[in-house]
Amino acid sequence: MDNRLSRKTKIFYGVAGIGDSALYSLMGTFALFFFTTVAGIDPAVAGTIVAIGAIWDVVSGSVVGYISDKAKTRMGRRKPFMLAASFPLAVFCSLIFVTFDAPQGLRYAYYIFMFIAFWTGYSIFFVPYTAWGAELTDSYEERTELRGIVYIFYSVGAAFGTVLPTIIVDTLMQHGLSVETGWTSVGIFVGVISAAAIFITGWKVNDTNISDAEDMADVIPDDAENSSTGSIHAIVDIVRNYGQVLKFKPARFIVLTSVFYLTSNSIMMADRMYFYTYNMGLTAKEISLIMLFQQIVSVLLVIPLIRINRVLDKRTLCIGGIGMSVACMTIYGFIGISSMPHLLIITFVYGIGSICYWQLIPSMLYDVCDADRLENEADRAGLIISMQGLTESVFEAVGFQILGILLHMTGFQTDAAQQSSETMQCMHVSFTFLPALFALIALLMMVKYPITRAKHAEIIDKLNNKEE
């Protein structure tokens, strides 16, 4: 494998990060808030709807990872999935943020269906896209650089998904439109931007796994073609591969790190709109500014992180960054967040841990794929990515459900401008102590991760010797 990628390839690969982050950030930050404050759904039910979508992502991601690993097409094995997912993602993202008058049960069914459809499309894009990075380069440092470029685009996408929504809604309301119309416009805007970014990457980046296949039908593995026997065999094969990978120490501890960090992240992301609105009393513009500040911090940290990675292992960087976040959230859990400077400080320090996770963990997963190829003689990057995504989705769902239940138990009122002191205390804990606890467990899992820079160099040398 040629270890050096052209700048053009890195940039075009990174563009899809806009779509990834915009969609993920929009759903993680605003879906629960939209359901409870605009669509008028009880917080516990809203949490369940969001959780069902995330758990469905487990099923679809597993299947997509398995199929894309075995795909054989003239466009490669990852590219067709990204191209196919782009337009449906725009449609379903738009339809999630629609309100209508109907019996309660029908509205619940509508949002559940739309969430399932959305996460199916997201899996069809995300798993092949992330796995593709492992195939573009096997360089320890260049993988971090590649993910750094992705993260820059990721920050742009996060601005679309977190900064602009409140501005769009507020602006449209000032021009006489309803809050419901504002949120529908947000869904359309983010969906279209995301779909365009995903399509550009799928179209412009060359897949190295090109086949002489005549059409997309060849994407379906031979052992899973249209028969019940083939389908059962495929399911058994997926489970068998997952079991084998989970016995592999590097994969096991990366997965466990993701499980607990994503639980922490989902609670904080979903809670921050409640915390900013009710505890801090921020306006729509102030919320947008604090979201923008977080993305600026992230972009500014990308280059220093890449340079530090030339000296320190990815594991060491992850432990340090997440550790700083844990300490900061715990301190502010005790002393409280009573002013904008305090909010900026916790946002900055949390951003350090966040960028360490989002930039380094995918790069470390690529290293795990190399180790798996050597240890188990298996080429299954898509399956490994989907397995890691599987556990993320399950525990993100747990995080959303925890917050929804806590808000319900403390008496959150969907149509109230102010909440009770008990509810506001719940929002504070869910913004500080609770995320800190899960992030701490993630940090402890990362300590057990065994692949260092030197170990990865040994793995690549042995793989190259095998190929010779």
- Who has greater pLDDT, 430 or 133? 430
Mean pLDDT calculated for residue range 366-384: 83
Mean pLDDT of the chain: 86
What integer pLDDT is reported at residue 229 of this predicted model? Answer: 53
What tens digit of pLDDT does each residue of 304-352 get? Answer: 888 888 888 899 999 999 999 999 999 999 999 989 999 999 999 998 9
Quick one: which H or E segment has residue 385? helix 381-409
pLDDT at 327: 97
Mean pLDDT, residues 346-369: 88
User: What is the average per-residue pLDDT within 118-122?
Assistant: 93
Residue-wise pLDDT tens digits, 392-431:
677 777 787 888 889 889 988 877 778 899 999 999 999 9
Residue 254 or 71, more confident: 254
133-137, 288-292, 322-326 — which one is most confidently predicted on average? Answer: 322-326
pLDDT at 467: 67
With beta carbons less than 8 A apart as the criterion, state whether 24 and 129 touch.
Answer: no
Over 90: is that where the pLDDT of 432 sits? Answer: yes
Q: Which domains can be identified in the chain, with CATH numbers?
A: 7-207+242-467 (1.20.1250.20)
Confidence tier at 440 by pLDDT (50, 70, 90): very high
Query: Can you tell me the mean pLDDT for 122-145?
Result: 85
pTM over 0.85: no
pLDDT at 288: 86
Q: How confident is the model at residue 433 (pLDDT cuts 50, 70, 90)?
A: very high
pLDDT in tens, 223-282: 444 544 556 677 777 778 778 887 888 888 988 898 899 889 888 888 988 999 999 999
pLDDT band for position 450 (cuts 50, 70, 90) = very high
Mean pLDDT is highest, among 110-119, 289-298, 302-311, for: 110-119
